Chain A
């Protein structure tokens, strides 16, 4: 711990011993952080380390379970965004805070506390002036939903600055921005910090952080690893602080003798709303990992491949053109998605384990339109045993199972579907206990051994390093790095996600052309 005494500027934001739990997950544990007037204080950590939760608490959006928040020396007694704004907090959310069906002017107007805003009828002219002041050239009357993601991200920052806050909280403010946008945003941040505003800057891009921060606080699994002067820090030292989680997880063996194999899934020039163009080949029997910081288009890419999201470009499976227009096309070709949103997209929570397992292949257990329960039960029981699903009975509703066992139930489907070619797993172990994880890894590896191509998108570098044969890293919707099996390690993946490598590559790539 090396919290060096900084300049004697006053503390504008102070979090003391803050803890927050979501269900079984302790998102933040007894974290204390200060932000001084005029400083840019970066908060770094891996996905899920508690950065966004901490800012959510500081902005009054989330109520901490324990600990206190002080803004400009005055306590934020209850969690209230309006109170926090009044005390001098402006926050730009990672997932934005715009009502898409309302105009830019209306959104800005809502975000401004009484005193700062004009009469209602002058709203549009006022908003246009403000946008001009922040050099953001979008029409004030435009619907927020009609803006590009980059415009929305800059608008979010402008919104945070409208009420002239003493503390500016920025949560991953550059994920959708190109180099110019980043420059514009940073200029704005510097200008404000010189004027005495304290800035809390959350980012996973370490070069960016080292470039602008005065101090850096590192979070790991919701616990602070200390606050450091940015001047004395290197990317390498930060990565060491961010990872270093004890390795408690076992992984199934890789097939070291797996010889060269044929391409099974081939993607070329696929692009969608938040990604692309992406070119990618996945080999038969391989587990390919997709890494990246949250919100860089990885999830959308997987979903697009299975027709769950709109995209253009081509994908081939086993040499045949894959119809990515609808989920049915992908399913017919044997491409299965294990959705990251189990409860909503993959399982029927109130139905039994049996019904969830066989719902896609009921025809097989039927005769003249009636089910043969005996055959269905036998098939389900076999899978329950193979995947080690712990349920009192196969008639138990899936809803009452643990997260891990729920995920195993959704994993039964590719085992039952006859002609599965590829499994695309979106965060297959999110919210799942350590014990069940191994069973899931084992099941995925078993399918790979059968010659299926497996793609695993995960926000956990440790998991990808242990499970995969090869990992590609996606940033801002494009593949920026590919890590072969021999080089795989948590550190190597984390470095690729946060590292300078990607910035350099991104700079080498011509700026994304505008889709007119």
Chain B
């Protein structure tokens, strides 16, 4: 045939390892830090501590998995933190101590309703009205935070301990819910990289115009991604409620942490790349740092610094193949222009 391959097949084959690198890097950090803590402190590798570590990972892990959806379609959802707070506050009304099981189910459904409404509002603002996702979700973040404060201006209202016990039920050191989230992340990654639906989602994130021309319903993909992100924040909110067991309107910076975890797990801010397993591993790693520091008698402030530094390091490592390719291209340009100059003016 007419067209010979222009580049060598070596250059053409996509860098497959790129997608695996964040996972490998995060797994390495988790096991490395875990091993170090286990060797230096006996208190680390105890059933109680590991169980506790996995439980406090749950809210961040679920929020990051949700956030990965938004990042995959090229957006952000900073409203997840406020939605989690809203869930905790709502749960203190709808799922109070001593509730019967059917009250708990209805209470949980109320939370899902709040999440669905938030997700649909976010998605509508972004997709139908066309607002940038960061602005739209900042708006809903502020609204949800305000409503939470109206409902509870200080931590108050005990949450059903039956509910909390069910959520944190463990076999040995392993919380059953954690097994659930691992399975969820694995299945979701398989879907993302081994199915047509996942292919469409990544295509929309990488290049929306081309994806639409190929027949993908980009509007629906983005809409669903934001709704799913909110629903995952609700599930994260369930775990926060189970862990705090009080209607507290003050909860930590899950908005940025969930984005950091998703990015550490391999999500690209430009869209189209990401891994649910990676987000889970990164969430585990972030919780691990905060868990280990007190054991090693280090102030937790160092944790903030370490998280920031490691985030930057990870991003540089993930950029590795591209940096290398760019360096090579730059060198190639220099070489070409040199030989061109040599041709024009010999000597």
Contact = CB atoms under 8 A, between A and B. Distances in A.
Contacts of A80: 217
Given A81-B214, A110-B215, 6 more contacts: A81-B215, A81-B216, A82-B215, A99-B211, A117-B196, A141-B14
A102 B202 contact: yes
B215 A111 contact: yes
Contact of B214 (A107, A141, A150, A310): A107
B171 interface: no
Contacts of B337: 312
Contacts of B40: none
Interface in A100-140: 100-103, 106-107, 109-111, 113, 117, 120-121, 135-139
B3 A151 contact: yes
Which 3 pairs between the two chains have the least Cβ-Cβ distance? A97-B213, A142-B12, A180-B2
Nearest to B344: A314
A485 interface: no
Nearest to B209: A97
B5 interface: yes
Main secondary structure of the interface of B (DSSP, over half): helix
Contacts of A147: 6
Contact of B14 (A103, A135, A138, A154): A103
B2 A181 contact: yes
Given A110-B200, A121-B194, A514-B6, A146 B11 contact: yes
A397 to B, nearest CB: 20
Contacts of A100: 206-207, 210
B212 to A, nearest CB: 6
Contact of B1 (A93, A107, A137, A314): A137
Contacts of A515: 6
Contact of A82 (B6, B217, B333): B217
B128 to A, nearest CB: 15
A141 B13 contact: yes
Contact of A138 (B5, B196, B202, B336): B5
* Residue with the greatest number of chain B CB neighbours at <10 A, chosen from A80, A85, A97, A148: A97
Interface string B210-252: 1111111100000000000000000000000000000000000
A110 B214 contact: yes
Contacts of B217: 80, 82
B199 interface: yes
Contacts of A348: none
Contacts of B203: 99, 102, 106, 110
Nearest to B270: A101
Given A113-B215, A142-B13, A101 B210 contact: no
A76 interface: no
A61 interface: yes
B187 to A, nearest CB: 15
Interface in B264-308: 272
Interface residues of A, number: 49
* Residue with the greatest number of chain A CB neighbours at <10 A, chosen from B5, B194, B272: B5
A106 B199 contact: yes
Interface string B188-203: 0000001110011011
* Residue with the greatest number of chain B CB neighbours at <10 A, chosen from A100, A101, A142: A101
B210 A96 contact: yes
B12 A136 contact: no
A401 interface: no
A143 interface: yes
B272 A101 contact: yes
20 contacts: A81-B212, A81-B213, A81-B214, A81-B216, A82-B215, A101-B206, A102-B206, A103-B14, A110-B199, A110-B216, A111-B214, A139-B5, A141-B14, A146-B12, A147-B6, A180-B2, A184-B2, A310-B333, A312-B336, A312-B340
B275 to A, nearest CB: 15
Contacts of B1: 135-137, 184
B136 to A, nearest CB: 21
A98 interface: yes
A121 B203 CA distance: 18
A154 B3 CA distance: 10
B7 A146 contact: yes
B340 A313 contact: yes
B4 interface: yes
Contacts of A96: 210
A100 B213 CA distance: 13
A82 B216 CA distance: 7
Nearest to A110: B214
Nearest to B12: A142
Interface in B314-347: 333, 336-337, 340, 344
Nearest to A141: B13
A314 B203 CA distance: 40
A425 B5 CA distance: 36
Interface string A69-84: 0000000000011100
Contacts of B213: 59, 61, 81, 91, 93, 97
Contacts of A113: 215
